[in-house]
Chains A and B, each alone.
Chain A
Amino acid sequence: MTELARKLRAVTQRRESAVSTGVSIPVVVIIAAAAVFLVIGSLSSSIFAQQTVAGLAQGAIFASLALALVLIYRATEVINFAQGEMAMASTFIAYQLTLWGLSYWAAFFAALGISFVLGVVIQLVVIRPVQHRSVIAVVIVTVGLFILIDGLVTWKWGADLKFMQAPFGNTVYHVGSVAFSRQDIGVLVVSILSVILLGILFRYTKLGLAMRAAALRPASAALVGVRVNWMLAIGWGLAAVLGAVAGLMTEPSQFLQPTMMQPILLYAFAAAVLGGLESPGGAVIGGLLLGVFLNLIGQYVGFATSELRLPIAFGVLLVVLLVKPNGLFGRKQVRRV
């Protein structure tokens, strides 16, 4: 390759690289309208309010897992198909810790720490060696991880349902005529809190800035002294932690089994695409919207039984891809030479 060719390529790359996050006005209007609709609905009907809160709790789980997908997509440019299974394995680790006598919350935080380490190790051992080969190679490795983790967990703990301590109990709060379960509120608070903490890490700390730089511009990041490979590995670790939160918050409502996260992963895909695969904020909003949407449809549309939840989520995904392939917060190209 001649220097001229490289220079030309550098110039074209520069043209394409001037990219901005496109939060367009229609998107803001749609989200504001949705919020107003939910508030008015909740004020006028107690069932609507209950379903909205339960939907937000579900959606917060989708949001955590979707955010994990987005983190890895930004850093590695692939969808991590093993994200759900990693989350499931983290949940089993927490379960094992409670069997060994740890309290629920001690096991919760210990499992998050272990998940972080495992996420880093997975990136270092199986992702990094193939990362620069091709995107499809990494995808295949994540599919392989899916099968490997699923097999290991089934081998160690068996495929039957397991029961874990309930973290939030069965209390139900009554506000006027509306009943909120303590569990829904707890799931919502824990999931959203972990998302916010991660947001703070990325936006306001030096480590977060370096991680973003390493994901967006690895070559430039290395030139200012950022340890790019470590940043990518830490990114996988943090994604694993978010997944662990999603898994542990899924568990109270559906028991523990190796297949528990597979539908959740599909909802998280839909949420991430809805938000625009590259946008962390979009993944969170996409997750919450999807959770509420599915719950309200289930409540008010007669034929939409729970068997139709997953097909409806896929309908959403399809519509987004057809109408707005970049998702609600996807990036638009702004050219500047």
Chain B
Amino acid sequence: MAPLLELEDVRARYGPVQALHGVSLSVEEGQIVAVLGANGAGKTTTLRAISNTVRRDGEIRFAGRTLGRGGPDDVARLGIAHVPEGRGTFSELSVWENLRLGAYVRRGSIKAELARVSAYFPWIADRRNQQAGTLSGGEQQMLALARAFMQRPRLLLLDEPSLGLAPRLVTEIFRIIKDLNDDGLTVLVVEQNAHIALQLAQKAYVLEVGRVALSGPSAELQAHESVRRSYLGY
């Protein structure tokens, strides 16, 4: 079976700076795939290339169809949810309005999704009228996951879910990502925290200066000499 998402020789640049020099990767349906790498390796740009928030060359196929060059709104409508760096929270709006926006592209009732979201994040129902910008960093990350879930995507793109969070919260967030995956959601996650990302993912790619330097099953990468030295620190 063809992978759910396939990138072939994807290139992208910011002005004169080439950020991606031909990245190819694939994500099978139902998997969690991690993209690792140092700052400036092109992890965020890879996600942005998929969601069309940066102009790119090369081919991206999703669910057997080639993605066009429309805007990010077109990609969202195909069933790809992107939680960007900065989490994409609508800070000025309430928690509840953030969730409704998550479900924006869906028609009909969203009661079932709300119930599911409340099951994952029990605090959300009680604080639905709170202004989202006043939530703590961890809560905002959970809200971002909840918002993406409301979209009922086939593929979730996550940019550094651990950024700025205390270790306990990081564990909590990744447990929730695992739960979502167990329920059938495919996830492509970009992470600086290679340790936790490799525990979670079945497969990982290591980017170096805009290229795929290494890839393979997480277990293999965990055992790999240079990955251990550069990203795991032992």
Chain A residues within 8 Å of B, Cβ to Cβ = 1-4, 6-7, 10-11, 13-14, 17-21, 206, 209-210, 212-213, 216-217, 219-228, 334, 336-337
Cα(A336)–Cα(B134), bound, Å = 7
- Using known A-B contacts A4-B40, A224-B102, A225-B104, determine if residue A337 contacts B88 with beta carbons closer than 8 Å: no
Partner of A217, one of B40, B44, B90: B90
Q: Is the CB of B91 within 8 A of A19?
A: yes
> For B40, B72, B89, which residue has the most chain A Cβ atoms within 10 angstroms?
B72
| Shortest distance between the CB of A177 and any CB in chain B (Å) | 46
- In the bound complex, do residue B101 and residue A216 qualify as a contact, i.e. CB atoms below 8 Å apart? no
Of B14-22, B112-120, B166-174, the segment with at least 4 beta carbons within 8 Å of chain A is: B14-22
The reply to whether A213 and B101 contact each other, CB–CB distance below 8 Å, is: yes
- Would you give 28 A-B contacts (Cβ < 8 Å), ordered by A? A3-B42, A6-B44, A10-B86, A11-B86, A13-B86, A14-B86, A17-B133, A18-B134, A19-B91, A209-B97, A209-B100, A212-B93, A212-B97, A213-B97, A217-B90, A219-B72, A220-B88, A220-B90, A222-B53, A222-B73, A223-B51, A223-B76, A223-B88, A224-B76, A224-B81, A224-B151, A225-B151, A226-B101
Q: Roughly how many angstroms separate A96 CA and B45 CA in the complex, as a whole number? A: 55
B3 CB to nearest A CB, Å: 23
Q: How far is B15's CA from A210's CA once the two chains are assembled, in angstroms?
A: 31
Q: Are B82 and A223 in contact (CB under 8 A)?
A: yes
What residue in chain B is nearest A221 (Cβ atoms)?
Answer: B101
B residues within 8 A CB of A210? 101, 104
Q: Choose from B17, B87, B97, B136 the contact partner of A336 (Cβ within 8 Å).
A: B136
Query: Which A residues are CB-close (under 8 A) to B220?
Result: none
A contact patch SS: helix
Complex alpha-carbon distance, A336 and B130, angstroms:
14
* Cβ–Cβ contact A225 & B77, under 8 A: yes
Complex contacts, B73 vs chain A, CB 8 Å:
222-223, 225-228
Complex Cα–Cα for A209 and B150 (A): 15
Chain B: which residue is nearest A220 at the CB level?
B88
Q: Does B15 contact A3, Cβ atoms closer than 8 Å?
A: no
A3 touches B101 (CB 8 A): no
A224/B40 in contact, CB under 8 A: no
B72 and A222 form a contact (CB under 8 A) = yes
Return the contact of B88 from the options A20, A219, A334, A336 (Cβ within 8 A).
A219
Contacts A2-B17, A213-B90, A334-B134 hold; do A223 and B40 have CB atoms under 8 A apart?
Answer: no
In the bound assembly, the distance between CA atoms of A19 and B91 in angstroms comes to 7
Output the nearest chain B residue to A14 by Cβ-Cβ distance: B86
A219 touching B53 in the complex, CB below 8 Å, given contacts A17-B91, A337-B137: yes
Contacts of A222 in B (CB 8 A): 53, 71-73, 76
Top 10 A-B residue pairs of the complex, sorted by shortest distance between their CB atoms: A225-B76, A225-B105, A18-B133, A220-B88, A3-B40, A222-B72, A10-B86, A17-B91, A4-B39, A222-B73
Question: Which B residues touch A225, using CB under 8 A?
Answer: 73, 76-77, 104-105, 151
Contact of A3 (CB < 8 Å), options: B45, B87, B105, B137 = B45
Q: Is the CB of B86 within 8 A of A18?
A: no
Chain B residues near A220 (CB-CB < 8 A): 84, 88-90
Residues of A within 8 A of B93 (CB): 209, 212-213, 216
Task: Give complex CA distance A212, B88 in Å.
Answer: 15
What residues of B have a CB within 8 angstroms of the CB of A17 in the complex?
89, 91, 133
- Could you say which residues of chain B place their CB within 8 Å of the CB of A4? 39-40
Q: How far is the CB of A114 from the nearest CB of chain B, in Å?
A: 29
Rounded to whole Å, the gap between the CB of B190 and the closest CB of chain A is 11
Residue numbers in B under 8 Å from A217 (CB-CB): 88, 90-92
Inter-chain contact A206/B41, CB cutoff 8 Å: no
A226's partner among B15, B40, B104 (CB-CB below 8 A) is: B104
Interface string of B26-65 (1 = CB under 8 A from A): 0000000000000111111100000101000000000000
